[in-house]
């Protein structure tokens, strides 16, 4: 892969694509490091051996990452760039991506159109091969295309291609990371990082903690989490957090949540979005959400021994 300049520089890559034989529909695109036109990438799967799919070389040139993707292969390349850490979330325009990508049945025999699964199973049975389907979706799991160095992922099905996982990130079995989202440094992910959400270094998303994305009803507030933050188990945010913030277990703070400040005044969550040093709790007597000034020395961050990946 050749890159030059910033978002306006030219990016060129040679990849391999599976195509449905019957309709000519392009299913995916894989861009491994080091592939060139003189040394194109190669892969195979049972769907190809059985004549359901065919593999072909694909070349993509992106002149400007600020422009939306032109086709499926272009979109796949942008997702690869994210997962390979060559760009960070929001560095590439992904507008219209879903309309370009093919909804595939991701099977143990390779990706196929959903309506081809029964034909694939029948053909595979003649050779004694079972076929399982792990998902029906437009975006595949990341590890089938990119495996970034220095990370641990408990359940590969829960990290989509286009996730940006920094060195030292651990995604536990119940953690989830969507595309165009992820971590910028060592982090513990036991909750959900929704599309577009970025987590700073040395932060911890507790079990079943949730971050509100912008794809479906998330509003206009871009959610992000700074460094040395902790979201307690079953908590959630629809606002940005600066550095050294803690959200109490079970508390969900949205842009419209009413929050009592230390001086007794009441503001909405959007009014404190992005601030650092906050401890957000729910008063167990009144039920009101309160913001208190956090003492960063009370929480020493995630255990570094867990993140020597």
The model's pLDDT over 2-53, given as tens digits with 9 standing for 90+, comes to 443 345 579 999 999 999 999 999 999 999 999 999 999 999 999 999 999 9
Looking at residue 45, what is its pLDDT? Answer: 97
Residue 6's pLDDT is what? 42
Quote the percentage of the chain above a pLDDT of 70: 91
Give the model's pLDDT for residue 219: 52
Q: Read off the DSSP letter of residue 69.
A: P
Active-site residue list: 190
| 110 torsion bin: left (phi>0), alpha (psi -120 to 50), beta (else) | left
- List, in sequence order, the alpha helices (H) in 34-169: 46-49, 72-83, 97-100, 117-125
* pLDDT per residue as tens digits for the range 45-101: 999 999 999 999 999 999 999 999 999 999 999 999 999 999 999 999 999 999 999
Which residues, including other chains, have CB under 8 Å from residue 83's CB and lie 6 or more apart?
A: 142, 145, 146, 148, 161, 162, 163, 164, 165
In the predicted model, what is the mean pLDDT of residues 287-308? 73
Q: 304 - beta bridge partners?
A: none
**Contact, 173 vs 185, CB < 8 A?**
no
Place of tokens 């093919």: 102
pTM summary value: 0.92
pLDDT at 303: 67
């Amino acid at each position: 892969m050749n890159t030059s300049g910033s978002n306006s520089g030219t990016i060129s890559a040679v990849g391999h694509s599976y195509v449905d034989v019957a309709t000519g529909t392009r299913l995916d695109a894989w861009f491994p490091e080091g592939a060139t036109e003189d040394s194109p990438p190669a892969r195979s799967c049972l769907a190809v051996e059985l004549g359901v799919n065919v593999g072909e070389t694909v070349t993509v040139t992106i002149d400007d990452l600020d422009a939306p993707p032109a086709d499926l292969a272009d979109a796949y390349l942008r997702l690869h760039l994210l997962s390979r850490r060559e760009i960070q979330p929001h560095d590439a325009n992904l507008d219209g991506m879903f309309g370009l990508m093919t909804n595939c049945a991701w099977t143990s025999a390779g990706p196929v159109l959903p309506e081809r699964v029964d034909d694939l199973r029948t053909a595979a049975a003649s050779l004694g091969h079972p076929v399982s389907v792990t998902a029906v979706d437009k975006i595949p799991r990341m590890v089938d295309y990119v495996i970034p160095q220095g990370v641990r992922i408990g359940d590969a099905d829960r990290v989509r291609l286009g996730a940006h996982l920094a060195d030292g990130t651990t995604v536990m079995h119940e953690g989830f990371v969507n595309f165009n989202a992820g971590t910028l440094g060592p982090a513990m992910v036991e909750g959900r990082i929704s599309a577009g959400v970025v987590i700073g270094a040395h932060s911890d998303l507790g079990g079943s903690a949730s971050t509100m994305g912008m794809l479906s009803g998330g509003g206009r507030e871009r959610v992000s989490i700074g460094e040395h933050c902790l979201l307690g188990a079953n908590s959630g945010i629809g606002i940005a957090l600066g550095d050294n913030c803690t959200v109490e277990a079970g508390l969900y703070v949205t842009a419209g949540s009413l929050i009592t400040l230390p001086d007794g005044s009441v503001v909405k969550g959007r009014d404190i979005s992005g601030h650092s040093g906050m401890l957000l709790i729910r008063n167990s007597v009144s039920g009101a959400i309160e913001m208190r000034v956090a003492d960063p020395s009370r929480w020493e961050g995630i255990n570094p021994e867990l993140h020597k990946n």
